[in-house]
Chains A and B, each alone.
Chain A
Amino acid sequence: MNNFQYSRAADVADAIRLLAANPGARLIAGGTNLIDLMKENVERPSRLIDISRLPLRKVEETADGGLRIGALVPNSDLAYHPLIEQRYPLLASAILAGASAQLRNMASVGGNLMQRTRCAYFYDTATPCNKRNPGTGCSALDGLNRNHAILGTSASCIATNPSDMSVALAALGALVHIARPSGERTIALTDFHRLPGDTPHVDVNLGAGEIIIAIELPPLGFAQNYSYLKIRDRLSYAFALVSVAAALELEGNAITQARIALGGVAHKPWRSLEAEAALRGQAATVDHFSHAADLLLAGATARAHNGFKIELARRAIVRTLTQAADATPQSQSHKKIA
């Protein structure tokens, strides 16, 4: 870990000012990802700007019937918030599928969106990695890539985004509110995370001096027919090999709205508007779910060790959609898959 300066931001404007004045500075919220990366010398910030006490901890109803969630709301508070439990249970479920109770107590919404890949080479400064050290090469391409991406990869990087929360947010069509020196802007969550392309060191569309202040959920919460299914190497406390957030609106057995987002398979939560459109107006049957899975996974490619993910994702998509249609969402405490 390097030596760093520390300042506590007085308010959002102060945090933005401090960011602008200190190139190489990093915001710190819960610290559960940043500090780990600092211990590994992957992150070497010149200064930590502590935003953990800023007043961004509210969950408020918006005029149009949605919700606005402050960037510093702890993950566990959000998962157990009555409005989230009632109206956006998919989000609650995805959050509870992630990390451990202790980590969720510390982790913030903003930090969760910003968490970096768990690619082992990214963490090991003794190995080449384009994301950590642009231009050095990607060790995962021909190395240990069992956990790596099958969709949207590039020749520079095949890392995945590890967040569970973001997968649900992508399915729910969340917006990200960002404060910056010249005011505020809003961006769709699906546009917030990037594909690696030839700039894998840039994970997200967030400019210098910009801070996430809130996320916004649109009114439609899919509270009846949803499920978040996370497949991992042990039954809890592991990152996803594949995860699926599924949300349906049904009229009888007919699908009127469908959202599907995948985790663990790409550099960002993966959605396919085409797959969702194909389900609209169709009966909620395994055949239609399989067809949607094919569309979602169109173009999936594997390296030496992650080929299993393609078939696993296909099956997981069908199962999650079935759970959603049957209104039997996956429990995050009982690990038997319904």
Chain B
Amino acid sequence: MNAYVGTPTSRVDGRAKVTGTAKYAGEFPADGLVHGFVVEATIPCGRIARLDTSAALNVNGVLDVLTHANRPPLADNDEAWKDEVAPEKGSPFRPLYDDTIKFNGQPIALVVAEDWETAKFAATLVRVEYEPSGFATDLEGERGSAAETDEPPKPRGDAAAALARAAVRHEADYVIPTEHHNPMELFATTAVWDGGGKLTVYDKTQGVQNVHKFLCGVFDKKPSDIRVISPYVGGAFGSGLRPQHQVVLATLAALALKRSVRVVLTRQQMYGLGYRPMTIERVGLGAKSDGTLEAVTHEAIAVTSRYEDFARNDTGWAEQLYSSPNSRFSHKLVHLDVSTPCDMRAPGAASGVCALECAMDELAVALKIDPIDLRLNCYSDRDQSENLPYTSKQLRECYARGAEAFGWSRRNPAPRSMHDGNELVGWGMATGVWEALQMPVAVRIVLTSNGHAEVSCAASDIGTGTYTIVAQVAADALGLPIENISVRLADSTLPQAPVEGGSWMAASSAHAVLAAAEDVRKELLSLAGKMPGSPLADAELADTVLIDGSIARAADNSRAVSIADAMRHGNIERIAKEKVNQFDEDKKHARNTHSAVFAEVKIDEQLGVIRVTRIVSAVAAGRILNTKTGRSQIMGGVVWGIGMALHEETVMDHRFGRIMNANIAEYHIPVNADVHDIDVIFVDEPDAHINKLGVKGLGEIGIVGVPAAIANAVYHATGKRIRRFPITLDKLLG
């Protein structure tokens, strides 16, 4: 009955996307639509002394300039402003709330005009005088003020002492710069005025119900007054988890003007949203001379804003990967005059595991053993922080399959030992790890007697392929061809779903589909069983399946009743069932995905120019629902990992507290020329514990480990250890 699950099914929304019929938030039409353009603060800290909008208001076509001084009411309490993903500690930023400036690029006014160009022009005429205050934006400069946050995994043993007496010890700082998501689609909202204070809000978001609840709170609206829709998202990678400025501003303007309003942020303005926080990762590893670990310490010092404590698990990952009798972790925050960071693909792990895996490579060099052997020496079959076994962990197999595909055995371990013409060749590897989370998600299936089904859920598809896997799982569970399944997502009126993030949506939505489909089958069975001479009379639910448009006995599919006959007999046109996925978060297992990443770099010996010529990523992530979209997820992660290793860095001038490369000409990500062979291997990982299908999720594991594998390859090629990312050629010249 798995005609679709586990196959390379093409995206069901692919055609709509490539032909342009898929509509994004900034593309929905509305009668009388007007346009807002954001005016931003140009200082990082202080207050607005005077805001003169008269010249802007005089421009023909300008309808209004909204500021903190003339805006409609906004909620005055943090509870209302705290969305589902907001940090626990802190007071969320409130656009146009008052005259305080908390970060450079903060929205301070919205010019609304008949057309976008007029609004943009008039925005240049808004005059602002500031009362600036002293500020700080430099993490390294303010490192001394770092303060402990949250609770990372508990210490085990006495790591400091064990590190001090270890036969072989490696300790170093690794610096990961601030990075921005730069999704292709700009952040946009079209707030459609439905009359009587009601709005339909088309927003770029990873969670329509999160935005819905947030808007109702911020604007004191009844749930039925606002509907949030976001059918397609052109990438978000975490930047769309929290409701962003533009959705507040568009809604505010629509309520103020009682008209439909669109606000699209510019690429430059998107640098005022969240980002991967810069971190200084200090890793200490102590080993016995036999190459087993004695101590692991990992301290992360990260940026956050003055108004919220954003922190993710950068440091605990060694507990999952490497057995060591002693460990200590700490996560510290430095509060700066910047906007709050946010989740960005594999938050915490992308940075923390990068540092850990570079450090492991340095330790292997110090121990004079192969980096894979070091990892196998201290391979952990348990999550040490909770002392739990895994639902499944085929990381050993990842090392073996990856190494074989890469040709690792042919590696000469000596740095600078491999050449290709003018280029030094380097081979490096690293481990990746991520969580396999599940969240409650509700799915509704409406089956009609003609054998078509609509499957609906409020979850977003942020480009990862949710439409497709929901259709695949539903087609298999309902025994229908995939063409007969239509999937509706990302409408706040649909069944409940959390934000799409954390790689939890595939497993969660798939099992919600299974649960709802089972209820559909139950009803079909009760209809079919009552038919005269039914081949299913007295059949137990567990002994039946839906197959080829019929309900049949599992043991003998020829004893079947077609869906059409069963429903005609029961005199019903449609069966509608809604169900939430059930999952057993037993406290007896740890749940993770793993990978082994191998990288080849070629570096011009004199000029330092770096090419990443090969990557092999062997991934163990349970059952792969769709090998085509799954592979594409991993490849995307690998490309991003190349960028993290070599290119990405948000550069700030701390004298002004301003980002100086807020555009994608100067903020570098890999271009085609930087991306060569990428080989993705899915390692078989049967998992009987995690959920029925054995699915873990793939959204983030693809990036983790890649930057470290490349950095380690750079070391192997050149003998130079670059601990400050990105690895640009100037760092190799010296």
Per-position 1/0 for B590-622, Cβ under 8 A of A: 000000000000101011110100000000000
Residues in B with CB closer than 8 Å to A236 are: 671-674
Interface residues of A in 298-333 (CB under 8 A from B): 308, 311-312, 315-316, 319
Check A120 against B660 for contact (C-beta < 8 Å): yes
* Stretch touching chain B among A15-23, A138-146, A169-177, A274-282: A138-146
How many Å from the CB of B640 to the closest CB on chain A?
14
Cβ-defined partner of B607 (8 Å) among A2, A139, A312: A312
Check A124 against B121 for contact (C-beta < 8 Å): no
Cβ-defined partner of A315 (8 Å) among B607, B647, B658: B607
How many Å from the CB of B308 to the closest CB on chain A?
25
Cβ-defined partner of B121 (8 Å) among A3, A126, A146, A315: A3
Interface residues of A in 229-275 (CB under 8 A from B): 231, 233-238, 241
Per-position 1/0 for B719-733, Cβ under 8 A of A: 000000000111001
Check A127 against B674 for contact (C-beta < 8 Å): no
Q: Chain A residue with minimal CB distance to B43? A: A126
CA distance in complex: A146, B655 (Å): 16
Check A319 against B673 for contact (C-beta < 8 Å): no
Check B658 against A124 for contact (C-beta < 8 Å): yes
Residues in B with CB closer than 8 Å to A7 are: none
CA distance in complex: A51, B283 (Å): 60
Cβ-defined partner of B602 (8 Å) among A2, A3, A120, A336: A336
How many Å from the CB of A172 to the closest CB on chain B?
24
Interface residues of B in 297-313 (CB under 8 A from A): none
Q: Chain B residue with minimal CB distance to A311? A: B733
Check A121 against B673 for contact (C-beta < 8 Å): no
Check A1 against B120 for contact (C-beta < 8 Å): yes
Residues in B with CB closer than 8 Å to A336 are: 421, 423, 602, 611
Cβ-defined partner of A139 (8 Å) among B266, B422, B653: B653
Check B647 against A231 for contact (C-beta < 8 Å): no
Check A235 against B674 for contact (C-beta < 8 Å): yes
How many Å from the CB of A121 to the closest CB on chain B?
7
Check A1 against B121 for contact (C-beta < 8 Å): yes
Check A233 against B653 for contact (C-beta < 8 Å): no
Check B671 against A237 for contact (C-beta < 8 Å): yes
Instruction: Verify if A13 is at the interface (C-beta below 8 Å from B).
Output: no
Check B653 against A312 for contact (C-beta < 8 Å): no
Per-position 1/0 for B675-702, Cβ under 8 A of A: 0000000000000000000000000000
Per-position 1/0 for A200-243, Cβ under 8 A of B: 00000000000000000000000000000001011111100100
CA distance in complex: A143, B268 (Å): 20
CA distance in complex: A335, B675 (Å): 11
Per-position 1/0 for B642-672, Cβ under 8 A of A: 0000110001010110101100011010111
Residues in B with CB closer than 8 Å to A127 are: 653, 656, 658
Instruction: Verify if B42 is at the interface (C-beta below 8 Å from A).
Output: yes
Query: Which of B658, B729, B730 has the most chain A CB atoms inside 10 A of its CB?
Result: B730
Check A126 against B658 for contact (C-beta < 8 Å): yes
Instruction: Verify if B117 is at the interface (C-beta below 8 Å from A).
Output: yes
Check A234 against B651 for contact (C-beta < 8 Å): no
Q: A1-B117, A41-B124 are in contact. Are A235 and B611 (CB under 8 A)?
A: yes
Residues in B with CB closer than 8 Å to A41 are: 124
Cβ-defined partner of A312 (8 Å) among B266, B608, B611, B674: B608
Q: Chain A residue with minimal CB distance to B613? A: A336
Q: Chain B residue with minimal CB distance to A333? A: B673
How many Å from the CB of B36 to the closest CB on chain A?
16
Check A234 against B674 for contact (C-beta < 8 Å): yes
Interface size of A by CB at 8 A reads: 34
Residues in B with CB closer than 8 Å to A40 are: 268
Q: A231-B607, A237-B671, A315-B606 are in contact. Are A120 and B655 (CB under 8 A)?
A: no
Q: A233-B728, A238-B668 are in contact. Are A124 and B660 (CB under 8 A)?
A: yes
Interface size of B by CB at 8 A reads: 39
Instruction: Verify if A118 is at the interface (C-beta below 8 Å from B).
Output: yes
Instruction: Verify if A155 is at the interface (C-beta below 8 Å from B).
Output: no
Instruction: Verify if A187 is at the interface (C-beta below 8 Å from B).
Output: no
Residues in A with CB closer than 8 Å to B729 are: 231, 233, 241, 312
Per-position 1/0 for A96-131, Cβ under 8 A of B: 000000000000000000000010110010110000
Residues in A with CB closer than 8 Å to B670 are: 234
Check B606 against A2 for contact (C-beta < 8 Å): no
Q: Chain A residue with minimal CB distance to B733? A: A308
Q: A2-B124, A124-B658, A126-B42 are in contact. Are A146 and B673 (CB under 8 A)?
A: no
How many Å from the CB of B647 to the closest CB on chain A?
6
Check B673 against A337 for contact (C-beta < 8 Å): no
Interface residues of B in 404-449 (CB under 8 A from A): 421-423
Check B121 against A337 for contact (C-beta < 8 Å): no
Check B653 against A144 for contact (C-beta < 8 Å): yes
Residues in B with CB closer than 8 Å to A126 are: 42, 656, 658
Cβ-defined partner of B647 (8 Å) among A143, A233, A241, A316: A233
Residues in B with CB closer than 8 Å to A233 are: 647, 668, 728-729
Check A121 against B121 for contact (C-beta < 8 Å): no
Check A335 against B673 for contact (C-beta < 8 Å): yes
How many Å from the CB of A101 to the closest CB on chain B?
11
Residues in A with CB closer than 8 Å to B730 are: 146, 241, 308, 312
CA distance in complex: A237, B733 (Å): 22
CA distance in complex: A316, B611 (Å): 17
Residues in A with CB closer than 8 Å to B653 are: 127, 139, 143-144
Chain A to chain B contacts (Cβ below 8 Å), 22 pairs: A1-B117, A1-B124, A127-B656, A143-B653, A144-B653, A146-B730, A231-B607, A233-B647, A235-B609, A235-B671, A237-B671, A237-B673, A308-B730, A308-B734, A315-B607, A316-B607, A319-B607, A335-B611, A336-B421, A337-B422, A337-B607, A338-B422
The 4 closest A-B pairs by CB, nearest first: A236-B673, A126-B42, A235-B673, A308-B730
A interface residues, Cβ below 8 angstroms from B: 1-3, 39-41, 118, 120-121, 124, 126-127, 139, 143-144, 146, 231, 233-238, 241, 308, 311-312, 315-316, 319, 335-338
